[in-house]
Structure 1
Amino acid sequence: MLIKHAHIVSDTEYMADIQITDHIISAIGQSLAPRDHEQVIDATGAIVMPGLIDVHVHFREPGFTDKETIKTGAAAAAHGGFTTVVAMSNLKPVPDTVETLKPLLEKNQTDAKITVLQFAPITHDLHSDQVVDMAALQAAGALGFSNDGVGVQDADTMYQAMQQAAKLHAPIVAHIEDASLMHGGVINAGPVAKKLNLPGIINQTESSQLARDLELAAATGVHYHACHVSTRQSVDLIREAKKRGVNVTAEVSPHHLLLDENNIPGDNPMFKMNPPLRSRADHLALLEGLQDGTLDMIATDHAPHTAAEKTGSFKTAAFGIVGSETAFSTLYTKLVKSKMFTLKQLIARMSTIPAEKFDLPGGHITVSGPADLTIMDLDTPYTIDPADWFSKGKNSPFIGDKVNGQTLYTISQGQIAYARA
C-alpha cells in the first residue's frame, strides 16, 4: 500500500508519502513511486495520524451479544479511527481461568479487523474476594487485570492482587467505586439530582476508594491505572501521588471532558453513565488534569446497551453510553477547534501516550514501525447519526451534534479495517 500526499501529524507535522509492506511502514519520503500491484490511497486534503488506541471498551461477548459482539464492536472502533482497543472482562462467563480466556482471545483475533487486546478480571467472577491466577492468565495472553463495572471492595483483596501483579509487571486497571457509598444513586449528587428528584452519587464514592488504592499501589510498586476519573478530588489525589513517585496512570472519558451535570436535559437516560456527569468544577478539573498530564490519556468506556435498556428513566435505565464512533470527532470539534488543545496534544492522549503507558505497538509514525494509521477529514462537517454506526448500541448523548473529524481510512497492521464509502 502507498499513501500519497500525506499530511502527517505525529510527533512532528510534515508532508510525505508513506509506503507499507506487509504489517510495517517500510518507507516515508517525498514522491515515492508505486510498486507493481500496490494499492494507492490519495490522502490529499486529509491528515494521517497514528492509529487511535482505546484502553477501555466493552464488547459484551460472550454473554450479552444482544448489546454488542466482538465483530460489531471492533467495526465500530475502526469506524472511529481506532486501530487498537483493550476489552474489559465483565462478560458471561467471566474470563477468570485460562480455559475461559483462551477462546475469547481467539475470537478477538478472528472476528476483528483491528487489534483487540483483553483484560482478565482481578478476582474470580468479578464479585468475589478470590484473586485469579494472574501468572497463568498473563501467560495465556491477558494484557492486565480489571474488575471494571464493579470495583474491588475489600482492601486486602486489592493488596494481594497488586502484590501478584507487581511481580508480573502487569497493570491493575481499577474501576474506582465504594459500593457502600452508592445508596442507589443514579446521577451526580447535586442541584440537578435535587431538581429531578433522583438519588445522587457523591464524589467520595470514587475518591475514597482511589485514596485507598493509591496507598496500596505505593506500598507494592504496581502499575496502577485509574479508569474513567470524574472528580476534582480524584485529580488532586492522582496529582499528589505522581509527585510522590507512585506508579499511577489515569484515563478520562470523552463525555466527562465535554459534558457536566448542567447539560442533562431532564430525566433522559442517554445521559446516565457511571461514574456520572459531575459538576462544572469537576469538569474543569478534568480538563486541567488532562492538560497538565495528571490524567494521562483519553479512553472511551464504550458501553453499548439495547434500546430497551436505555429507555425510560434514570432510575430504571442501564448505566453507560457508546463512544467508539464519536470520541475523536466530538473531542476534536469541542477541544481542538476551540483551541483548548492542539491536534498534536489530542493525538498524544488518544494514541501515543496509551501506547507508551501500556507498552503497546503504535502511537508513532516511523519507518519500521507498525502500519497502524488513521486518515481523517477534519474539514467537512457532519451530523452525528446512529444510523451510520456499526455498533449495535445507539445510546449516546451526542446524537444530533454537528462535528468535524470524519474517518476516511483506518489501517490496522497494514490492512484496511475501515474505508469510507
Structure 2
Amino acid sequence: MILLKNGRKVNENNELINIDLLIQDGIIVEMSECIENSEAYVYDLAGKLVSPGLIDVHVHLREPGYERKETIETGTKAAARGGYTTIAAMANTIPVPDSIEHVSYIEALLEKNAQVRVFPYAAITIGERGEEIVDVEALSKRGILGFSDDGRGIQEAGVMYQAMKRAKAVNKPIVAHCEDDSLLFGGYLHEGEYAKANGHRGILSVSESAQIARDIMLAQATGVHYHICHISTKESVELVRFAKEQGIHVTAEVSPHHLILCDMDIVDDDTNFKMNPPLRSDADRMACVEGLLDGTIDVIATDHAPHHEDEKAWGIETAPFGIVGLETAFPLMYTTFVKTGQMTLKQLIDCMSTKAATIFDLPYGKLEMGAAADLTIIDLDKEMEIDSSKFLSKGKNTPFNGYHVAGWPVMTVVGGKIVYKDEQMN
C-alpha cells in the first residue's frame, strides 16, 4: 500500500488543488485533500503535480530485429523516465507482427522485458509491403492497439479500402503513416527554404496531404476509425478539420518536434534534425499548433525513433530518418507552450494522456477512485538542461540536446508499482 501525500492535481478549471492518493493492489482506492494511513508507505510529494499516466500511441522500440538501436527494456525504461505509463509499439520490426505467430512472439518479449504497459500494433499488410492484407480478424483478438504499416504509406487505394472495411468490422483503428511514394522524388528534407538554400532534395508537403485526402474519403466510405500519424503540414491539418466537420471518424497526432521546430531551425546539416515527416515551414508548424489547440489534432505522440550514432553519422542525405523523444516530450511541451501561456496545463495533460485513452478506448488516463494507479509525478519547477548522454534510451539522436527546460517527471507509477523514481524522491 502506497500513500502519496501533498500532491497537486489540475481540476477542470485548470486550477491546481491539493490531493492525497492511497494506492492498494494497483488501484486508486482513496483520493482526497488529506488522507492518513499508518499502514501505507508514504511519499511526500511536496506540492508536485500528480497527472494521470502519460500515454504515447507512437513509439519505435526496435526489438525484435534492431536491438542495436533500442531494446524493449531500454525503450520502456526511457518511457518510464519520461513519465509514460502506456505506449504503443510500431510494427516495423523483424519479424513484422503480421501473423498470430509473430504477434505472439512480440507479446512474449514485452511480457518479459517491458517496464511500462505496451500495446503492440499489428501490421496492415504482410511484411509491411503494402500488398496482401494481414488476417485482420484473427489478429484483432490479440492485445493489439490497431493496425499500422508505420514507416510506409499504403500506396494502393484498393488495399487501404479493403483493410479499412475489415478493421471496421472488428472495431480496430487503422493507424496510417501518410506518404505517397510517387511524390517523393528522392527528397530527404522538407521542400522549403533550408533545402533550397543548401542544395538538398526536398520532400513535398503534398506527398503527405494527398494520401490523407484519399484516406479520409475511404474512411468516410467504410466508417472505420482512421488515425493519422505525425501530421506535419498546414494542408493536412485543414483536411482533418474538414473531415471532423463532416462527422468522419478521423483522429490525428502531432509530435513535439513538429510543434517546436521548423526547417529553418536545422543547424549545419545536423542529422539529428532529420525525421520523416521532415521539419516543415514555420507556417506549417503554426498550423499544427493551432490545430492542436482547437482540437483538430487530438494527441501528442513522440514518434520515438532511436538510431545508432554510427548511422546518424552517415550524412544528411543517407542517414536514417528519426529522432528520440520519450524522455524529453513533457518538459519540452510544458516549457514551450504552458510556461509561455499558449496552452493550459490541463490541455497539455489531456493531449498527452486523457485523450489518447479516450480515442483508443483504453481504461487508463484517469485520475479517479477505482482507476488503475497509472500516475506521473511531475516537478513543474525543476529546471534542467537536456543531456542526451544521460538518456536511458540507447538512442541519443535528438535536436534538443542542450535545451534548458522545466517540468520534469520525477516518479512514474504503473499499476501501483513505481517503475521510475528520480533521486530527489524519498
TM-score interval, normalised by the smaller of the two chains: over 0.9
**How much does 1:326 deviate?**
0.7
Worse overlay, 1-10 or 278-287: 1-10
**Whole-Å separation in 1 of the counterparts to 2:375 and 2:68:** 31
Aligned counterpart, 1:257? 259
Q: 1:14 aligns with which of 5, 13, 17?
A: 17
Instruction: Look up the SS of the partner of 1:129 in the other structure.
Output: coil
**How much does 1:9 deviate?**
2.2
**How much does 1:10 deviate?**
5.3
Match of 2:9, as an amino acid?
I
Aligned counterpart, 2:286? 284
User: Do structure 1's residue 44 and structure 2's residue 43 form an aligned pair?
Assistant: no
Structure 2: stretches of 5+ with no match in the other structure: none
Instruction: Look up the SS of the partner of 2:56 in the other structure.
Output: strand
C-alpha distance 55-10 of structure 1, shift in aligned 2 (>3 A): farther
User: Do structure 1's residue 326 and structure 2's residue 328 form an aligned pair?
Assistant: yes
**How much does 1:242 deviate?**
0.6
**Does the CA-based 8 Å contact 1:2-1:34 persist in structure 2?**
yes
Aligned counterpart, 1:5? 6
**Does the CA-based 8 Å contact 1:11-1:364 persist in structure 2?**
no
**Does the CA-based 8 Å contact 2:220-2:249 persist in structure 1?**
yes
**How much does 1:85 deviate?**
0.3
Which digits, 9 at most, give the CA deviation of each residue in 1:240-273, with x for residues without a partner? Answer: 0110110000000000000001111121111000
What number of residue pairs does the alignment pair up? Answer: 420
**How much does 1:121 deviate?**
0.2
**Whole-Å separation in 2 of the counterparts to 1:405 and 1:190:** 33
Instruction: Look up the SS of the partner of 1:309 in the other structure.
Output: helix
Give TM-score, length-normalised by structure 2: 0.97
**Does the CA-based 8 Å contact 2:301-2:352 persist in structure 1?**
yes
Aligned counterpart, 1:396? 398
**Whole-Å separation in 2 of the counterparts to 1:32 and 1:273:** 47
Give TM-score, length-normalised by structure 1: 0.98
Which digits, 9 at most, give the CA deviation of each residue in 1:328-377, with x for residues without a partner? Answer: 01010011111000111000000010000001122221000110100011
Aligned counterpart, 1:311? 313
Which digits, 9 at most, give the CA deviation of each residue in 1:1-58, with x for residues without a partner? Answer: 100001112546421210001111000123312242x221111131111110000000
**Does the CA-based 8 Å contact 2:130-2:159 persist in structure 1?**
no
User: Do structure 1's residue 88 and structure 2's residue 118 form an aligned pair?
Assistant: no
**How much does 1:388 deviate?**
2.0
**Whole-Å separation in 2 of the counterparts to 1:132 and 1:10:** 43
**Whole-Å separation in 1 of the counterparts to 2:12 and 2:54:** 14
Match of 1:395, as an amino acid?
N
**Whole-Å separation in 1 of the counterparts to 2:399 and 2:283:** 20
**Does the CA-based 8 Å contact 2:54-2:376 persist in structure 1?**
yes
Aligned counterpart, 1:34? 37
**Whole-Å separation in 1 of the counterparts to 2:324 and 2:314:** 18
Match of 2:278, as an amino acid?
P
**Whole-Å separation in 2 of the counterparts to 1:60 and 1:79:** 18
Q: 1:154 aligns with which of 136, 153, 156?
A: 156
Which digits, 9 at most, give the CA deviation of each residue in 1:142-172, with x for residues without a partner? Answer: 2210000011111000000000000011000
Match of 1:3, as an amino acid?
L
**Whole-Å separation in 1 of the counterparts to 2:270 and 2:410:** 32
Aligned counterpart, 1:168? 170
